[in-house]
Structures are given as structure tokens and as C-alpha cells.
Amino acid sequence: MFTNPLSLFVKFLLVWLTLVLLMSSLAVRPVLIQVAGTKVYLQVTPTSVRPNLSLEEIVFRYDVEDIPYAALDRDLRDIVDSVAEYRPLSRRFRQMTVYVSLEQVGAVHTITQASSTRPDDGLYLIGSVTSVRSSDEHERLLVVRYGLPRQTDQADPEGRLLHAFRDDTLVLATVRIHRGHARLDMLHPVSN
């Protein structure tokens, strides 16, 4: 009936070590996703810039959020064709995952194709459908969100970023992409 104290200690040590390893694996994985990844530059457009706004109050959007009809696969084209503009999307469409393949054109990464299936290779973003709208050229666009922030708390003591947004200067977002998931590093204006 009496258990060996050494045996109890070994069992305790094994349980403790298992818990420590489990907790460390849970803690390390998000950090690796945050640090690892391919660095890309995405063009950013402000949605509201008024002279009295501070940098933290500027809302912006990524140009890769608007996917042109020509870049959509057949399943996504069916969504665009079946939805009236500015109408709420059905739950099925809102929960649909979209894989947006990117390629570098000059300094900026742009959309090459959007699909409802994960690409076999290459650089891509994972997003979800939010709406369908028309562009200025009367082209139907699928609007996708990627989970990237749309406001910045980035320090801008000289006001370069704020002036760039006000003056319609090209602003790029440095984004790190790892397995389709993206994290914003910083915004920076591109000088001419």
C-alpha cells in the first residue's frame, strides 16, 4: 500500500514537465507567427482625412481589399453576379474564406488571383468577403477584409504620414505574411 517516494517524485516531475512543455508551446507559436513571414508592401488609401484629425484618427484601407472581377475564380464570380450592390450578403457568403494571391509589381504587391481554394504555392492572403460594390469604371468588385488594422497608432512626430494622407501622396504599408495571415509592421509615405 505504501508507494515509493522516489516513484511519486518521478511522476510529479513528469506531469510538471508535460505541463511546462504544453504551456511553452502555446506561448511560443503566436510569437513565431508575429516574427516570421515574408515582408511585402501594400498600397494604402485613406478613407477619412480632415485637417483637424490626428494620425490615430485616420481610417485607411488597403488597395488589395478591392478584388477586380477579372481576378476572381468561378465560385467568387458567382457570388458577385448573384448579389445586388449595397445589399447585405447572405451568411454563407460572409463566412466564405477567400485566398488572394499576390505578386510584386515594382515596389508594391498587387492581386493576381482570388480563389475560394488555397493556392498550392506562392504568396497569398487569407480574407473574408464583406461586400460587393462597383468601381468608378463601373466594374463589379468583391471587397475582402484580411484582419489587418485600419487605424494606426504609429508615432509620427514630424507629421510626414499625416501630410502624405492629406496630400494624396503614395503611402505603403509594410506587412509580414506567414501562411496567408498578415501583420502590419508600419506605414510610410513614398517620396517622389
Confidence tier at 30 by pLDDT (50, 70, 90): very low
The residues near 187 (Cβ < 8 Å, ≥ 6 apart) are: 44, 60, 152, 154, 161, 171, 172, 173, 174
d(CA 127, CA 107): 22
The pTM for the full model equals 0.72
Q: Which residue has the higher pLDDT, 106 or 22?
A: 106
Could you state, in order of their start, the residue ranges of all structural domains in the chain?
1-35, 38-189
Confidence tier at 23 by pLDDT (50, 70, 90): low
The residues near 42 (Cβ < 8 Å, ≥ 6 apart) are: 62, 63, 64, 108, 109, 172, 173, 175
Q: Per-residue pLDDT tens for 96-154?
A: 899 999 999 998 999 999 999 999 989 999 999 888 877 776 778 888 999 898 888 77
Q: What are phi and psi of 159, to 5 degrees?
A: 75, 20
- What is the arithmetic mean of pLDDT over 92-97? 79
Structural contact between residues 127 and 98, judged by C-beta atoms closer than 8 angstroms: yes
Sign, CA torsion 130/132/134/140: positive
Structural contact between residues 161 and 189, judged by C-beta atoms closer than 8 angstroms: yes
d(CA 24, CA 64): 36
